[in-house]
Amino acid sequence: MSVEEKNKEVVRRVTEEVFNGKNMSVLDELVSPDYVYHGAFGDFRGREGLKEIITAYHQAFPDIHATIDQILAEGDTVAYRLTVRGTFQGEMMGIAPTGRQLNITEGVFIRFEDGKEAETFTFSDGIVFFQQLGIPFPER
C-alpha cells in the first residue's frame, strides 16, 4: 500500500472510529502529539486540543455523523470533502442549543508526518452553520 493510501486510511479511521464512533483513544495512535488544527473557530494545538474540539461537537450534537464524500492524496497531504449532520442539542461555545438540524459540507486538508496526522486546515461556510442552527451570526 502506498503512503498516500495509508494516509487516506488514517483519515477514514479518524472519521469513523473517533468522530462517528466517539472512541478518542484512537487519536493516540493516529495523531501526532504536536498536532495543529486550523478551523473556523480558531486554532488548537496538540492531540489533547483535538480531543477537546471533537468532544465539544459530541456534546453539542450527540447524534453527529460525518461522511467522507471525496478523498484525494498527494505526497504528505490528504484532501477531502466531508458532510456533517447532527442535531444541536447541547451548549457549544456558550450558545444554547436550538434543536435545529445541521447539514454542512466542509473541505479539509491534512498534512502527515511519519504516518500520523500533523496539521489540519478545515474550510466551511460559517454563515450557513449559524443559519441552519438558528443562531445570530456574530458581529466582528
Residue 47 pLDDT? 94
Q: What average pLDDT does range 85-102 have in this prediction? A: 93
For residue range 22-62, list pLDDT tens digits in order. 999 999 999 999 999 998 778 999 999 999 989 999 999 99
Q: Tell me, yes or no, whether 111 lies in a domain.
A: yes
Number of domains present in the structure of the chain:
1
How far from chain centre, in Å, is Cα 49? 12
Q: Is the pLDDT of residue 124 over 90?
A: no
Q: Tell me, yes or no, whether 63 lies in a domain.
A: yes
Structural domain span for residue 78 = 3-133
Residue 29 pLDDT? 97
Place of cell 449532520: 85
Q: Tell me, yes or no, whether 139 lies in a domain.
A: no
Cell of 82: 466531508
CA angle 105, 123, 33 (to 5 degrees): 110
Is the pTM here over 0.85, yes or no?
Answer: yes
Q: Tell me, yes or no, whether 140 lies in a domain.
A: no
CA distance 24 to 27: 6
Q: Tell me, yes or no, whether 138 lies in a domain.
A: no
Q: Tell me, yes or no, whether 15 lies in a domain.
A: yes
- Half-sphere exposure (CA, 13 Å, Cβ side) for 105? 5
> What percent of the chain is predicted at pLDDT more than 70?
98
> What percent of the chain is predicted at pLDDT more than 90?
79
- DSSP label at residue 95: B
CATH of the domain at 108: 3.10.450.50
CA distance 45 to 129: 23
Which backbone phi and psi does 109 adopt, to 5 degrees? -120, 130
Residue 140 pLDDT? 62
